[in-house]
A and B are shown apart, each in its own frame.
Chain A
Amino acid sequence: MAAPTRPFPAPPPLGEGPGLHLPARRRRPARRVSLLRSAALVAGKDLRIEARSRVTTSQVLPFAGIVLLLAAFAIDPSRAALAGVAPGMFWTAVLLAAVLAAGRSAALEVAGGTGDGLRLSWLDPGGVFLGKVAAIFAQLLVLEAALLAGLIAVYDFHVAHPLLLLASAVAATAGISAVGVLYGAVAAALRTRETLLPLLALPVLTPEALGGTQAWTAAQQADLGDGLRWLQLLTLFGCVLLSAGVAAYGALLEEE
Chain B
Amino acid sequence: MMTARIGRAVLPATAVLSLAVLAWLALGATPPDAVQGDAQRLMYLHVPVAWLAYLAYGVTALASLLYLVPRTRNRRWDLLAGASAEVGVVFTALTIVDGSLWARPVWGVWWTWDARLVTTAVLLFLYLGYLALRRVPGPADRRARRSAVVALIAFADVPVVHLSVIWWRTLHQQPTVLNPELDPQIHGIMAFTLLWGVLAFTLLYAVLLRHRYRLARAEAEQEERVLQLALMTPPATRPAAAAPEPVR
Partner of A186, one of B141, B149, B157, B172: B149
Stretch at the interface among B3-11, B48-56, B180-188, B223-231: B223-231
From A20, A22, A25, contact of B224 by CB (8 A): A20
Task: Decide if A190 is an interface residue (CB 8 Å cutoff).
Answer: yes
Question: Contact between B136 and A190 (Cβ–Cβ < 8 Å)?
Answer: yes
Residue B125 interfacial (CB < 8 Å) = yes
What chain A residues lie within 8 Å of B126 (beta carbons)? Answer: 203-204
B224 x A191 contact (CB < 8 A): no
Interface residues in B102-140 (C-beta closer than 8 Å to A): 122, 125-126, 128-130, 132-133, 136, 138-140
Chain B proximity mask over A112-127: 1 for CB below 8 Å, otherwise 0: 0000000000000000
**B residues within 8 A CB of A230?**
167
Q: In whole angstroms, what is the CA distance A14 to B130 when docked?
A: 24
What is the distance, in angstroms, from A173's C-beta to the closest C-beta of chain B?
A: 16
B224 touches A17 (CB 8 A): yes
Bound-state Cα–Cα, A210 to B164, Å: 7
Q: Are A206 and B161 in contact (CB under 8 A)?
A: yes
Instruction: Identify the closest chain B residue to A20 (Cβ).
Output: B75
**B221 CB contacts on chain A under 8 angstroms:** 11, 14
Does A76 touch B at the CB level, under 8 Å?
no
Count of chain A residues with Cβ under 8 Å from any Cβ of B? 43
Give a binary string over A1-35; 1 marks a CB under 8 Å from any B CB, 0 the rest. Answer: 00000001101101101111010010000000000
Do the beta carbons of A192 and B248 come within 8 Å of each other?
Answer: yes
Please tell me if the beta carbons of A229 and B136 are within 8 angstroms of each other in the complex: no
Kindly provide the distance from the CB of A83 to the nearest chain B CB, expressed in whole angstroms.
16
Q: Is B2 an interface position by the 8 A CB rule?
A: no
Centre residue among A11, A196, A206, A233 by max chain B CB count within 10 A: A206
Does A65 reach chain B (CB closer than 8 Å)?
A: no
Selected contact of B76 from candidates A14, A182, A237, CB within 8 Å: A14
Q: Is B145 an interface residue, CB under 8 A from the partner? A: yes
Residue B208 interfacial (CB < 8 Å):
no
Distance in angstroms between the alpha carbons of A230 and B164 in the assembled complex: 8
Q: Which of B128, B130, B150, B217 is packed against the most chain A CB atoms within 10 Å?
A: B150
- Whether B136 pairs with A192 at a CB distance below 8 angstroms is yes
In the complex, which residue of chain A has the Cβ closest to the Cβ of B127?
A203
Kindly state whether residue A200 has any CB partner on chain B within 8 Å: yes
Using a CB–CB cutoff of 8 Å, the interface residues on chain B facing chain A are 68, 70, 73-76, 122, 125-126, 128-130, 132-133, 136, 138-142, 145-146, 149-150, 152-154, 156-157, 160-161, 163-165, 167-168, 171-172, 217, 220-229, 231-232, 247-248
- 10 A–B pairs (Cβ distance < 8 Å), ordered by A: A11-B224, A14-B217, A14-B221, A15-B74, A22-B73, A182-B153, A190-B136, A191-B248, A204-B157, A233-B163
12 new A-B contacts at CB < 8 Å, known A17-B228, A210-B168, A251-B145? A9-B225, A17-B227, A19-B227, A20-B220, A20-B224, A186-B150, A196-B136, A200-B132, A200-B150, A203-B126, A248-B149, A251-B68
Q: Lowest 3 CB-CB distances: which A-B pairs, in order?
A: A203-B125, A207-B164, A200-B129
